[in-house]
Amino acid sequence: QVQLVESGGGLVQAGGSLTLSCVASAHIFRSNAMGWFRQAPGREREFVAAITRSRGIPSYADSVKGQFTISRDTAKNTVYLQMNSLKPEDTAVYYCAAATYDAKLQGGRGDYWGQGTQVTVSS
């Protein structure tokens, strides 16, 4: 049973924007902090952003602060990642994740994972 489903990836030119979406099962969305990770070719998966369960407080990796915005729609059980001013180094598979609290996501751990969506930024 697929519980996190990402969409919105694709090919974009440098400087462009993309918005990723992740639809979660209702019980996962209500009970967990949500977040995004990415994994570039030949590199380890890294934390990108998280949003807390109760108050929707965002947090970001230093590498994307001011460039990416995480948000959510509680009515749709959906979390978003708005990515602006994209650079070739942002090319990666982006994963949605959920965990009991945001610090766990910030530490690189998730309890639930999506299958990922490819983002490719051309120069």
Give the β-pairing of 10-13 and 117-122. parallel
**b/e per residue, 37-76, with b = 16+ CB within 10 A?**
bbeeeeeebebbbbbbbeeeeebbbeebeeebebebeeee
Q: pLDDT at position 36, please?
A: 98
Determine contact, residues 105/111, Cβ cutoff 8 Å: no
Q: pLDDT at position 60, please?
A: 98
Identify the DSSP state of 64: G
Q: pLDDT at position 102, please?
A: 94
Per-residue tens of pLDDT for the chain, all 123 residues: 669 999 999 999 999 999 999 999 999 999 999 999 999 999 999 999 999 999 999 999 999 999 999 999 999 999 999 999 999 999 999 999 999 999 999 999 999 999 999 999 999
- First vs last Cα of the chain: how many Å apart? 38
Determine contact, residues 36/20, Cβ cutoff 8 Å: yes
Determine contact, residues 102/56, Cβ cutoff 8 Å: no
Q: pLDDT at position 63, please?
A: 96
| Residues listed for the chain | 123
Q: Which residues pair with 59 in a beta bridge?
A: 50
Q: pLDDT at position 54, please?
A: 93
Q: pLDDT at position 21, please?
A: 98
Q: pLDDT at position 26, please?
A: 95
Q: pLDDT at position 8, please?
A: 97
